[in-house]
Structure 1
């Protein structure tokens, strides 16, 4: 597949022309499009069985980062890392610290949130004269408020009294988001659609999200801007079931019922029609719908005449394909990322080095010429040189964390370790049985995450889910079907040592033997990266 992609992109470069001349440094606008649960197979140019012409054109017009990773594979912690540049295990949010007081092993998952007392990329940009905007799914602020709503699941959003309650709830969420460095916040979903606690609103509404993004783009500004557009697609409720997406009432939104609807995207029946004309089934039309949303933003930037002043980034918060989500396997960590910036990023370019979500915030600051505050804690590395043409490796080793598991990944290898907190390990040693999802039989080992639904489905399709130590040869086994840890002791020792180095950066956060005097294996001289 990779050879096909490279040929396709190389041909596109020939059609577009030579490497563009770089303009003098300016402070560009940044549009950050963050999707949800989107794997590589839902993008056309990556051999996905979907119709995504605008995303395909972004790959031709800009750069595809083919080994872009998220360091945690569920929503909240991944989004936290994108916006802060920090590993999610460093979170100091109220909910996170209640669950994991200092000194405890962390179980990183959907409990991370932006802290009011720490820097994130929007706060820094705002402090340096940027106009900042947020539209769409948050899932990184005030987890304690998500369940405090005043209506029932079968509530009718068309009822004026109920609808005003819903609008008031939405205004509250917009205000909470603004507290974290955003001048503009609208079209906000607190978390997933089900957290609206209303069956009628448990449907995707990309029209609403894009309408709010267009309003921000069209608003007068005297300074450059940063806009985060975060979609609910492709998360559940299953968007490929069109009653939750293209066949749903387009007036049902995160702020309740909006009778006038929206006029920023093609009609939904038109999306279905074009998808059929392209030769795809209706169940794949959700990908074209999202593609239309991206296209609407690209078109608005062009209409405003700010293309050369604007870098547009498209990426997902994590994957979902096969055994990826809520694990540290490739189909969860590795996601499609595209960057377009006419005149600065070479059309049709590809970068194969390891890049991660923790690198996004420092890259934005670097591109915008902003020196981070002295008290800004950041784990990431700027990949600005990559965007401007460098093919040098950004890093050799990447750390990942998810629930009870941790990993280190190189270009060719990945080592995953599962270690339980002492009190959990004691129960395991005593033969305690752990709750499974629903009515399934109890388990000898607990799921990696508190969410038994996600733990169940990840473990069902992943034969290595519960194995304490796992090694994968990514060159030969990108799907990580074969745990080869018994075959490569030197590489295993080396990667264990690398994992120990990473974990020792998290002061007061134990993780088995890796943080308690781990034995060095640096004597192995012939290790292959």
Structure 2
């Protein structure tokens, strides 16, 4: 009897150890990806692996990012905070307390605040970062051709824009710069950083390196996965696709030299993905033109990571998440319109998530970090400021609403979204509004003048966003998402009750931001 009791105790301990096993997490985050580059969403492209991932997992049909450009969106994924709460050095320099914030690509991770990776590492996770950042050291990103001082202060080495990475001396500089960036990212919670892009490809400031290289980043991801050992792991894998330079122009993707990477020229190349010629051929066999092959190429990268997880015997231990940082400029990037905010999120976890699952409720990128911590059984410390909520029950099939309202912020605009309504408010800071009232003109794109400033400092983004969205500059915008999902008709004056209700929701959201004015909403 005593022996039986001991055996049962041992079994109980073993079962408890299995039950308490923390999941591995891989976040695959793409850049500027809209619905029309995914087959399962109706895009005229060939993406069999991502389509299969959606069939085998959970598709969140109304997942949203709360800011629709790179830096603030990624900040919110990794922190669980709205980007307007950023206290990074560059952000606070631009927006000292008491100023209205202009949320865009100046937000950055704070070295002295909690984020998801830091807390996971503190709780026994091995953490990895591969790919595009746009999250730290914005002062290092100044173009050295016009501002050499910023690179020199950072200890980065200079080379000419037309320098040849095959030149050993040039290449050595590129490799040292890459390693310096990797080391700079590690204090933000990452054990392993490699295959790192400081921001977009152009921030490498070299013509030959201004090409996408998915092979390079997948190779670095494999190295992390293979070296994780028995520890649970978190991998942040961020591609440069489908951001510019236009990957549908094969000069920057399929036809580019696969040895040109973010660390310079890597002569031995990589053997982790099918050849680019093979990608083109399979794309043609599927009935698509060569300018659609970039979608299949990204699909191959996602498939390779899924296959590596399977090869390592970790499918039932690993949650793989696929999502975009925001929509494309062709639709709603740099606005709070749904084609910018609402992006596809697919979650696959064999044996845990029921295949073919779907959830239609509103979820936001601020909810990602609290959900992962919830799944891992990690309680955030009292000083971890988070705005998001966990959607863990959704992974088990719950259809209960995670939230009824979601707040969004971008440049000079703020908005709130429910399942039925979207309200967007454009309010300029007082000094800027005074210039508008005086009839002053503002600098547009490529030298033209405009009556009101773009919502963002970036004129390129403002130009494309305003040209694609006719209501871009309107102060008060209300859209019925049920009858007008493309937000073509501003019905603010036709529905006064709904307008006032949504304005109140926005006011409630904005009052959470201490000492950050926004027109009449915070008075």
Q: Report the Cα distance in structure 2 between the residues aligned to 1:372 and 1:221, rounded to whole angstroms.
A: 25
Q: Secondary structure at 2:354's aligned position in 1?
A: coil
Q: Which of the residues 335, 346, 352 maps onto 1:327?
A: 335
User: Shift of the alpha carbon at 1:321?
Assistant: 5.4
- The one-character-per-residue Cα deviations of 1:226-249 (angstroms, maximum 9, x if unpaired) are 001000000000000001001100
Unaligned stretches of 5+ residues in structure 2: 1-17, 143-150, 152-156
Q: Report the Cα offset of residue 504 of structure 1.
A: 0.3
> Which of 267, 273, 276 does residue 284 from structure 2 map onto?
276
Counterpart residue number, 1:39: 34
Q: Does 1:339 align with 2:330?
A: no
Counterpart of 1:131 in structure 2 is 126
Distance in 1, Cα, partners of 2:432 & 2:184 = 36
Matched position secondary structure for 2:445: coil
Which residue of 2 is the match for residue 10 of structure 1? Answer: none
Structure 2 distance, partners of 1:106, 1:221, is 43
In the other structure, the counterpart of 1:386 is 394
- CA–CA separation in structure 1 for the residues paired with 2:483 and 2:414: 22
Q: TM-score, normalised by structure 1?
A: 0.92
Equivalent residue, structure 2, for 1:91: 86
| CA apart distance, 1:323 | 3.5
Structure 1 stretch displaced more, 457-466 or 215-224: 215-224
Structure 2 partner of 1:170: 178
SS at match of 2:196: strand
Tell me if structure 2 keeps the 8 A contact 1:205–1:253. Answer: yes
Once residues 288 and 50 of structure 1 are traced to their aligned partners in structure 2, the CA distance between those partners, rounded to angstroms, is: 7
Hey, what does 2:439 align to over in structure 1? 431
Moved over 6 A (4+): none
1:69 matched to 2:64? The reply is: yes
Structure 2 equivalent of residue 490 of structure 1: 497
Q: Which residue of 1 aligns with 2:483?
A: 476
For 1:423 and 1:84, the matched residues in 2 are separated by: 32
How far the C-alpha of 1:25 sits from its partner, in A, is 4.8
Report the Cα distance in structure 2 between the residues aligned to 1:257 and 1:203, rounded to whole angstroms: 12
User: 1:137·1:232 contact (CA, 8 Å) conserved in 2?
Assistant: yes
Residue 222 (structure 1) shift: 3.2
1:322, distance to aligned residue in structure 2 (A): 3.4
The partner residue of 1:265 within 273, 284, 288 is 273
Q: In the alignment, which of 77, 85, 101 is matched to residue 82 of structure 1?
A: 77
The answer to whether 1:154 aligns with 2:162 is yes
- SS for the counterpart of 1:200 is coil
Residue aligned with 1:438, SS? helix
Residue aligned with 2:323, SS: strand
Tell me whether 1:205 sits opposite 2:200 in the alignment. no
Given that residues 327 and 458 in structure 1 are in contact (C-alpha distance below 8 angstroms), is that contact kept between their aligned partners in structure 2? yes
Name the counterpart of 2:517.
510
Q: Distance in 1 between matches of 2:330 and 2:461?
A: 12
* Contact 2:329–2:461, Cα closer than 8 Å, also in 1: no
Indicate the RMSD between aligned Cα atoms, in angstroms: 0.9
Deviations 1:433-470 (A, max 9, x none): 10001132x11100000000110111112110100000
Q: Encode CA deviations 1:200-240: one digit per residue, 9 max, x unaligned.
A: 00000000000000010111423100001000000000000
Q: Aligned pair 1:348/2:343, yes or no? A: no
* Equivalent residue number for residue 15 of structure 2: none
The answer to whether the Cα contact below 8 Å between 1:193 and 1:204 also exists between their aligned partners in 2 is yes
Conserved in 1, the CA contact under 8 Å of 2:126 and 2:228? no
State how far apart, in whole Å, the 2-side matches of 1:487 and 1:431 are: 29
Alignment check: 8 A CA contact 1:131 1:221 kept: no
Match of 2:13 in 1: none
Q: Residue 443 of structure 1 is aligned with which of 413, 436, 450?
A: 450
Q: Are the equivalent residues in 2 in contact too, given 1:122–1:182 (CA < 8 A)?
A: yes
Equivalent residue for 1:244?
A: 252
| Equivalent in the alignment of 1:370 | 378
Q: 1:40 Cα deviation (Å)?
A: 1.2
Matched, 1:316 2:324: yes
Partner of 2:5: none
The CA deviation at 1:343 is: 1.2
How many Å separate the matches in 2 of 1:246 and 1:104? Answer: 46
> In the TM superposition, what is the alpha-carbon distance from 1:182 to its structure 2 partner?
0.2
Contact 2:30 2:323 in 1 (8 A): yes
Q: What is the aligned counterpart of 2:21 among 26, 30, 52?
A: 26
CA displacement 1:158-195 (0-9 Å, x = unmatched):
11111111001000110011110000000000000000
* Alignment of 1:288 onto 2:283: no
Shift of 1:145: 1.1
Q: Given the alignment of the two structures, is residue 144 of structure 1 paired with residue 151 of structure 2, yes or no?
A: no
2:305 to 297, 302, 307: 297
